[in-house]
Amino acid sequence: MSIIIDHLTHEYETGTAMAVKAISDVSLQIPDGQFVGLIGHTGSGKSSLIQHLNGLLKPTSGTVYVGGEDIFDKDYDKKKLRSRVGLVFQYPEHQLFEADVFTDVCFGPKNLGLEQKEVELRAYDALKKVGLEDDAFYVSPFDLSGGQKRRVAIAGVLAMKPEVLILDEPTAGLDPAGREEILGLIAGMQKETGMTIILVSHSMEDVANYVDRIIVMNKGSVMLDGSPKEVFSHVEQLEEAGLAAPEACYIMRDLQKAGFDLPGDVTRIEEAADAILNVFGSGV
């Protein structure tokens, strides 16, 4: 399912002294099956932008097309949209409310008006996908660990079988192992199903390792847009926007400055290690 964002502008608290333009004139095209990383400094408008994609926020001007249809059209079915575009909020574990994990995951598909059997099948499927152990299915969600809760919450959205999955900082507040786990899970799912995924993140390392394309937001506009290699070659611009390139880029740049003949477009630690070994391996 492709997404087209067409001259989207959003202003909060319009008409008061606190009016903020959170998004100004953003136009983007996201083709079907792409894995996109959306990064930007705090307050750059990432969360505001993605909330438009499933109609939770209405634009001040501009519009969004999902699968070729204008989602802000009066006649567009919002329920259909919510099942097509799944949105996992920041700290999604804060929305769990049912007495047990399984019932909570059923909430989404049940709201779509599916049969009980189908609802349960989907919930089971989703919980399996996020790798939750069977014996955790019927405990209270509040008794789980932070990482488990997060996975249950993601399953709650996956159970709606969206064609586009948007995750707002899914790794916020997790330890390195937990981050790897969640990101690996998302990347694996993307490979398997070929769904369109938009991953919002603060961490360059997170996105550099997994996504096909990076969109950098700054003060409500798109500042950079391209493959990880392209985007991370603009280190100065990233730093201006309060961001940084992955560590590997800095190491490679410093080595290049010191006179070593290394490729300039390395973004991942493993690639950097290989390139460095290549140079030093032959010399030493």
Partner 1 sequence: MIREITIGQYYQTDSVLHRLDPRVKLIFVILYIVSIFLYRKPLPFLLAALFLALCVGLSKVPFSYIVRGLKAVVVLMLFTAVFNLFLTPGETLVAWGGLKITKEGALIAAFMAARLVLLIISSSLMTLTTTPTQLTDAMEKLLWPLQKIHLPVHEVAMMMSIALRFIPILLEETDKIMKAQMARGADFESGNLLRRLKAMVPILVPLFISAFRRANDLAMAMEARCYQGGEGRTKMKPLRYKGADTVAYLILMVYLAAVIAVGKLT
Ligand X SMILES: Nc1ncnc2c1ncn2[C@@H]1O[C@H](COP(=O)(O)OP(=O)(O)OP(=O)(O)O)[C@@H](O)[C@H]1O
**Residues of this chain that bind ligand X (CB under 6 A):** 12-13, 20, 22, 40, 42-48
Q: Does 15 bind partner 1 (CB under 8 A)?
A: yes
Q: Which stretch binds Mg ion (CB under 5 A): 43-51, 210-218, 223-231, 246-254?
A: 43-51
Long-range contacts of 262-270 (CB under 8 A, 24+ apart): 264/233, 265/229, 265/232, 265/233, 267/208, 267/228, 267/229, 267/232, 268/208, 268/209
Q: Which stretch binds partner 1 (CB under 8 A): 9-17, 28-36, 227-235, 240-248?
A: 9-17
Among 173, 167, 201, 203, residue whose Cα is nearest residue 185:
167
The burial class, CB within 10 Å (0-12 / 13-18 / 19+), for 148 is: buried
Closest approach, Cβ 19 to ligand X, in A, equals 9
Kindly tell me which of 5 and 22 has the beta carbon lying closer to ligand X.
22
Closest approach, Cβ 86 to ligand X, in A, equals 18
What, of ligand X, Mg ion, partner 1, none, does residue 48 touch, CB below 5 to 8 Å by kind? ligand X
Tell me how many degrees the CA angle 101-201-93 measures, rounded to the nearest 5: 15
Residue count, binding to partner 1 (CB under 8 A): 28
- The pattern of x and - marking residues 34 through 53 that bind partner 1 according to CB under 8 A reads -----------------x--
Long-range contacts of 52-55 (CB under 8 A, 24+ apart): 52/5, 52/8, 52/10, 52/23, 53/3, 53/5, 53/85, 53/87, 53/164, 53/166, 53/198, 54/81, 54/82, 54/84, 54/85, 54/86, 54/87, 54/166, 55/81, 55/82
Listed in sequence order, the residues at least 6 apart from 202 whose beta carbon sits closer than 8 Å to its beta carbon are 39, 42, 169, 172
What, of Mg ion, partner 1, ligand X, none, does residue 22 touch, CB below 5 to 8 Å by kind? ligand X
Residue with tokens 């259909």: 80
What, of ligand X, partner 1, Mg ion, none, does residue 80 touch, CB below 5 to 8 Å by kind? none
Q: Which two tokens stand for residue 60?
A: 């001040």
Can you tell me which of 37, 59, 156, 228 binds partner 1, judged by CB under 8 A?
156
Rounded CA-CA distance 217/242 in Å is: 11
Kindly tell me which of 20 and 112 has the beta carbon lying closer to ligand X.
20
Q: Which stretch binds Mg ion (CB under 5 A): 45-53, 116-124, 133-141, 252-260?
A: 45-53
Q: Does 47 bind Mg ion (CB under 5 A)?
A: yes
Ranked by CB distance to ligand X, the top (closest) residue is: 47
- The pattern of x and - marking residues 81 through 120 that bind partner 1 according to CB under 8 A reads -xx--xxxx--x-xxxx---------xx--xx--------
Catalog residues that contact partner 1 under the rule CB under 8 A. Answer: 13, 15-18, 51, 54, 56, 79, 82-83, 86-89, 92, 94-97, 107-108, 111-112, 142, 156-157, 160
